[in-house]
């Protein structure tokens, strides 16, 4: 009899999921608009990647071009392997929508 309740949803969990107040725990956080450029993006990654801002700004210029840049282009710019991997990993996450650089909180 218990397996029928599980299969057909006649249990307390399905009732709790259908209540309006319960869904608020699973909603996405409020997104905030931050102008993202190459410096903000690399600073958001951290781990020493922000040292390559002048190179990338002079060669790639636009943030949208950075999002589609491949590893060979970054290698030709003289960016070490670890940093290339981090840049490519986070550009993919940014394109898919899984990651955004944090906005700096106002220091008081």
Number of domains within the chain: 1
The pLDDT of residue 108 is 46
> Cα(50)–Cα(45) distance, rounded to whole angstroms?
8
Cα–Cα distance between 39 and 52 in angstroms, integer? 9
Does 9 fall in a domain?
Answer: no
Let me know if residue 2 belongs to a domain: no
CA distance 107 to 100: 21
CB contact at 8 A, 31 and 56: no
Q: Is residue 1 part of a domain?
A: no
The answer to the question of residue 102 being in a domain is: no
Question: Residue 47: which domain range?
Answer: 38-96
CA distance linking residue 101 with residue 90, whole number of Å: 10
Q: Which residues contact 61 (CB under 8 A, 6 or more apart)?
A: none
pLDDT tens track for 15-64: 555 555 555 555 555 455 567 899 999 999 999 999 999 999 999 989 99
The CATH number covering residue 46 comes to 1.10.150
Contacts (Cβ under 8 Å, ≥6 apart) of 75 = 84
- What is this structure's pTM? 0.65
DSSP secondary structure code for residue 85 in this structure: H
Spatial separation of the C-alpha atoms in residues 11 and 55, rounded to whole Å: 59
Is the residue at 76 inside a domain?
A: yes
Question: What distance in Å separates the CA atoms of residue 64 and residue 77, rounded to the nearest whole number?
Answer: 17
pLDDT in tens, 50-103: 999 999 999 998 999 999 999 999 999 999 999 999 999 999 999 999 999 887
């Amino acid at each position: 009899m218990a397996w029928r309740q599980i299969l057909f949803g006649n249990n307390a969990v399905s009732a709790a999921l259908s209540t309006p107040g319960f869904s608020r725990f699973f909603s996405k956080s409020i997104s905030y608009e931050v102008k993202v450029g190459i410096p903000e993006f690399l600073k958001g990654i951290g781990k020493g990647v922000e040292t390559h801002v002048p190179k990338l700004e002079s060669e790639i210029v636009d943030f949208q071009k950075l999002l589609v840049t491949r590893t060979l282009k970054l290698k030709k710019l003289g960016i070490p392997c670890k940093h290339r991997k981090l840049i490519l990993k986070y550009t993919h996450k940014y394109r898919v929508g899984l990651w955004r650089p944090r906005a700096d909180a106002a220091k008081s």
